[in-house]
Structure 1
Amino acid sequence: MDTRRPLTAAVFAAALISVTTACGGAAAPAPAAADQPAPTTAASSVDTACTNLLGIDATPTPEEGPESPPAPEEVKAWGATITTMLDAALAAAPPELTPSLTALQPFVQTAANDGVLPAFDDPGLNAALAGYETWAHDNCGYQNIDLVGRDFEFTGAPATLEPGPISVLMENRSEDEQFHVALLARAKDPAMTAEQFTAMPMEELFGAVDLVPGAAAAAPGQTGGTLADLEPGTYFLFCPVGDEGEIPHHLQGMITTITVA
């Protein structure tokens, strides 16, 4: 679920403007209903659970800014979309996956019924997300990226991937109490380099890349994950964290290039 956990995908925009809040920025349009995984009641189907978990993580949250929350109807529609996939995943979930998905239900139901986004810094929500993303990393058979975030570099990122689903699990080993995020952006020009990415003015950068919904986000000593379905292209895996007045982490070296082909 692209829940805009602190400093996830849409926060890239805010981070480059020296604002680092959860939720907000230029989220991609929500996938059309026809693109969503079809619900199923097939019991204990790992493939069905994985397909729906991937769909949950690939669904962007409605846009939100510091002083402009999304319209309740947009949140309700988002919550209904997530509910459909969450119910399908639960119907197919093996016993070890069920607790995480059950814990996620109240947060999604509040969005669907009341039009209010969850509090994305809620420990219960983050535990539920980490639970199902760790399970997916271990069981879905996707291309796995076992990432380590330090101050200020990523290790464990591959240089190349094949197109298709991936699972990112990032362990935050910050020694300076730094919150880290692993966010993916696909360059519209496949020849774009990381040096060009970091040197490009913000207003140009927004038009030069497409953000991948969702991100792996973790506090020091914790692990966060995300699932994504990647098309061929040049991707930048980077950490946009940077409080107002601070240099964003990706400008301090926390960026790497991945070619998907």
Structure 2
Amino acid sequence: MHRTTGTPALRRWLVGGASLVIAATMVGCGSDDDSGDSASGGTSSSAAEEADPAAFCEAAVDLEAGLTTGGPEVDFETATPEEIEAALTDYREQVEPLLKEAEDSAPEEVTDDITSLTGQVRQGLESGDDSVFQSPEFMEANAGIDEYMLAECGYEQIEAVGVNYEYEGIPDTVPAGIVAVTFTNEGDEVHEIGVVRINDDVTEPLEQLLTLPEEEIFTKVEFAGIAFAEPSASDTVFLRMEEPGRYGGACFIPQGTTHDTEGSGPPHFTLGMFAEFTVE
């Protein structure tokens, strides 16, 4: 689970960079969305016993991808409250089928965890109270799902390590497919690995791309996912890297960032915390 500037964000199972804005905006708008989007799914015991683990693995990856690479299509700085609320309602409607599919396909071993997690995702989306996502219940469910998927899904696994200020353990080449990236922070600051696919027509190395303005770099790369860890902790993210090509990972956290304070130094990637690799 990811924190930014000391505030819990959903990062893994919710929208990445937009999550804090979503939460704050929903509090301000006072969402009155009712049972239509909040109906809790869950899996019956008989269905869970007959569930196909492979189907759940795919559903869980789709859920993670949908929540970490999507978000409400609205400019939060210029939109009216009504426009923001409409966009949030549309987003909740997009997310709900992903939540339901994960619940319906969950095998018995992971039913409790997925039901707990999806219920808390719905609660956070509807109430704007992002404290849900730093609760012991959320973290326990999230860890249980990761543990199950690592053991049962059969995906390629990468053990990436973050230190001050570089990555270790990232291979030069990775087989195309769904890849589980477990990021362990062995540094003494908080670190992350944000993964992107570099567009086929882009020739610049990742180091050069990272120097570009934000609006320009995102015309040259496609965001794949992110894992975050505080010192001595780890996080796993399941990424669809099914399209061969150049990929890169980087840490954008400012130097000096701690559990509850944003650092004032340069982003970690400027200090060398980035890596480029090839998916083939």
| Same fold per superposition (TM over 0.5) | yes
State the match for 1:55 in structure 2. Answer: 62
State the match for 1:186 in structure 2. Answer: 197
> Does the 8 Å contact 1:194/1:257 carry over to 2?
yes
1:255 partner letter? F
- Listed one character per residue, the Cα deviations across residues 137-165 of structure 1 (whole Å, up to 9, x for unaligned) are 22211121111121111112121123221
Q: CA deviation at 1:136?
A: 1.5
Q: Percent identity?
A: 25
State the match for 1:35 in structure 2. Answer: none
Decide which of 84, 87, 100 is 2:97's aligned counterpart.
84
SS at match of 2:203: coil
Larger Rg: 2
SS at match of 1:236: strand
> Does the 8 Å contact 1:235/1:257 carry over to 2?
yes
Q: Does 1:141 align with 2:154?
A: yes
Decide which of 188, 192, 198 is 2:210's aligned counterpart.
198
2:122 partner letter? Q
1-structure distance, mates of 2:76, 2:232: 28
> Does the 8 Å contact 2:174/2:279 carry over to 1?
yes
2-structure distance, mates of 1:120, 1:77: 22
1-structure distance, mates of 2:121, 2:215: 34
Q: CA deviation at 1:202?
A: 3.8
- Listed one character per residue, the Cα deviations across residues 85-105 of structure 1 (whole Å, up to 9, x for unaligned) are 333333332333223212212
State the match for 2:37 in structure 1. Answer: none
- Listed one character per residue, the Cα deviations across residues 103-137 of structure 1 (whole Å, up to 9, x for unaligned) are 2122222256x374744752343443333223222
Taking only aligned residues, the RMSD between alpha carbons, in angstroms, comes to 3.4
> Within 5 A, what are the aligned runs for 1:211-250?
211-212=223-224, 214-230=225-241, 231-242=243-254, 243=262, 245-250=264-269
> Within 5 A, what are the aligned runs for 1:1-261?
4-5=10-11, 10-11=16-17, 23=20, 43-59=50-66, 60-62=69-71, 71-110=84-123, 114=126, 116=128, 118-119=130-131, 122-123=134-135, 124-174=137-187, 176=188, 178-188=189-199, 189-212=201-224, 214-230=225-241, 231-242=243-254, 243=262, 245-261=264-280
> Does the 8 Å contact 1:147/1:171 carry over to 2?
yes
1-structure distance, mates of 2:169, 2:193: 12
Structure with the higher helix share, 1 or 2: 2
Where relative contact order (Cα < 8 A, 6+ residues apart) is larger, the structure is: 1
Instruction: In structure 1, list runs of 5 or more residues that go unmatched.
Output: 12-20, 26-39
State the match for 1:15 in structure 2. Answer: none
> Does the 8 Å contact 2:120/2:132 carry over to 1?
no
> Does the 8 Å contact 1:137/1:168 carry over to 2?
no
Moved more, 138-147 or 242-251: 242-251
2-structure distance, mates of 1:137, 1:191: 34
> Does the 8 Å contact 2:53/2:152 carry over to 1?
yes
Instruction: In structure 2, list runs of 5 or more residues that go unmatched.
Output: 3-8, 23-42, 255-261
Q: TM-score scaled by structure 1?
A: 0.74
